[in-house]
Chains A and B, each alone.
Chain A
Amino acid sequence: MQPVIGFAGMTHLGLVSGICAAEKGFKVIGFDPDSARTSALSRGELPVSEPQLPELLQKNRERLRFTSDAAALSSCDVVYVAPDVPTDDLGRSDLASIGDMLEAVFSATRDNAAIVVLSQVPPGFTRGKLRAGRILYYQVETLIFGRAVERALQPERYIVGCADPTAPLPAAYATFLGAHACPVLPMRFESAELAKISINMFLVASVSAANTLAELCEKVGADWSEIVPALKLDKRIGQYAYLAPGLGIAGGNLERDLATVCNLSDSYGTDTDVVRAWIANSRYRRDWVLRTLHGTVLSRLENPVIAVLGLAYKQDTHSTKNSPSIALLSSLTPFRVRVFDPVVPASAAPNPRCLAAKTELEACEGADALAIMTPWAQFAKLDPAQLAKKLRGKVVLDPNAVLNPAACRAAGLDYHTLGMKS
């Protein structure tokens, strides 16, 4: 008999994980104390934007039940505790909400139910919540905003933190994990908690190296996009390495782990100078557009109008956490800006002189410069010739190279991107 899987916390992580568990054929209880949230979900209204998620919700409605009554979790064999853990401006986690949620789950579930902490927590958290007679695990979540469904349905591996890594997993939990046909790596709690952070630190290291070298490319006349394929063919680096230059670290999760590593280092006296250098590099790269815009437009024109495409911190998400676009707009308050994002409303822009455009081209109408701040796929379809017609000026800042540089230059645009001399 298939185990019943519970998910506590119907924010991004719990919601995507729950719907994907239903897609795997399991009966799922989605609990959240916010009844307005669960009622909306019961009506099929999603609070997050993820590719495929609406379709999977619709498809698996019979296996999904959303409730604000914790008692419903008593029927579950496995309950994931998965609320999004909020962070402050310094990336520090507020663990109060997950602590409360975990207590509620302990109270509502059977003693033989496996409770699995799925939220991102610092090393030592899960062991601190162990209690006699209860079954507790920590599982590394691998959610990527914009690719959350794909990652939940086809995980590369499961990393499971255990009180005793040599003991077999409970049958119901093992059955659920086994449905995903990927390696399961049991390890002690602290190793699993640090494994999650380690993964993110390697990603940040790659991105930081890419950004550092891409900036050098901009100065010496090299083209980072020509170098990347060479790196990906090196087995020590690999074809999936994060080598695309960008506007620094955003979204909140990586920043959280950077803060956690620094805090642990401060406590234990270990060396994390390199981690602090990554943080500084991220802060510096985030403002690439502002610096370039200042050099090309703001310091040259009176009352310039700036078009900004994209508000989300990356494509396929509604999240604006630490978004470079929001940071840019907060520095453009003296100027008129015309904004378009396919998902995020223009009201998210911290700019009193912001016009909400209905389309990309409307945003460009009469603007002196265009900044493409989020690499939404639909922006890649924009015709540089049409952009050139709509814009008053010719400056296009496209850090993520959404548009074709050669086509833009052929259209007479003054095109700037990361990793390439303009």
Chain B
Amino acid sequence: MIAHRNQEPKKPERVVLLGARGFIGAAIRRQLDAQRIPTLAPASAELNLTEADAAGKLAATLNPVDVVVVLAAITPDKGRDSATLMKNLAMMHSVCMAIEKAGCAHLVYFSSDAVYNPTVSRVSEYTPASPQDLYGAMHYTREIMARGLSKVPVLVLRPTLVYGLDDTHNAYGPNRFRRAAQKDGKIALFGGGEETRDHIHVDDVAALTVRCLLHQSTGTLNVATGISHSFFEVAELVAKQFSSPVEVARTPRANPITHRHYDVTNTIKAFPDLRFIALEDGVARAHRQMTEEKS
């Protein structure tokens, strides 16, 4: 579902990261820096995309050779209501207006797997988008806004659950489990943690994104490993990292069990030598980083 405009990898002249201070944005920036690819990462204090003059400010910054990566969004932990939706759409409107005015060489829009119906257990890029909440609807609308830009090659990335040390969202999964185990010596599961999900390490998200930038890839790609684990398995993996015992506690189930698996064939076709960090290694890496940070 993606095509490479550069068959051989070619460094972009400059990458403009909108949302570079976030969890994923920072990881991408680290990898771009490592490859000595120039980046511009305006902070929201300098460029508030919700403001009326944002499009003009951004357009004044952009060059036609720039690659623009859009990660900026108000995340669900900060609001799920219609006011948040409208702000998020206003942000994307600013980006699109700026690109229409100034042009760019490649636009990468970071969407979400929330564009899929959460009851669909197996997802590929062929799965029809069917968002069931305003957050998913927001991302899908922003995808359409991006694809509607004239003369700009667009890539939409739809990441699954992302984990890593610096995650601030603290959603149910490896990050919250690690923090809970550290703080309370206990990980509380929903029910028995039977639900399966695909967890991808933030460094893999960044690596895949950089590959797409180098190949100037276009289309739509899910960002997932293709291997799903139950939350119980994840909790056990996290607990194993601690030298003192960590209780993995079951709670009465309040919601039906749902599963999510990804068919990553299109990712393999696009990057056949791509390697993902195995969950056990990624969890261990995050734990090690946390320990190093504390000491």
Contact = CB atoms under 8 A, between A and B. Distances in A.
Q: Are A and B associated in one complex?
A: yes
Interface of A: 280, 283-284, 287, 290-291, 294, 298-300, 331-332, 334-335
A331 B273 contact: no
A291 B272 CA distance: 9
Contacts, number: 34
A290 B273 contact: no
A242 to B, nearest CB: 24
Query: Would you call the interface of chain A mostly helix, strand, loop, or mixed?
Result: helix
Interface in B261-295: 263-265, 268-269, 272-276
B225 to A, nearest CB: 10
A364 B53 CA distance: 64
A290 B265 contact: yes
A291 B275 contact: no
Contact of A334 (B264, B265, B273): B273
A291 B265 contact: yes
A305 to B, nearest CB: 13
Contacts of B269: 287, 290, 331
Given A284-B124, A294-B272, A300-B275, 13 more contacts: A280-B126, A284-B263, A287-B265, A287-B268, A290-B265, A291-B265, A298-B273, A299-B273, A299-B274, A299-B276, A331-B269, A334-B272, A335-B272
Contacts of B274: 299
Interface of B: 124, 126, 226, 263-265, 268-269, 272-276
A294 B265 CA distance: 10
Interface hub of B263, B264, B265, B276 (most chain A Cβ within 10 A):
B265
Contact of A290 (B124, B268, B276): B268
A334 B211 CA distance: 14
B272 A298 contact: yes
A294 B263 contact: no
A300 B273 CA distance: 8
A381 to B, nearest CB: 31
Contact of B275 (A284, A287, A299, A335): A299
A298 B263 CA distance: 17
Contacts of A298: 268, 272-273
Contacts of A335: 272-273
Contacts of A284: 124, 263, 265
A83 B269 CA distance: 35
Contacts of B264: 291
A300 B278 CA distance: 12
Contact of B268 (A280, A283, A300, A331): A331
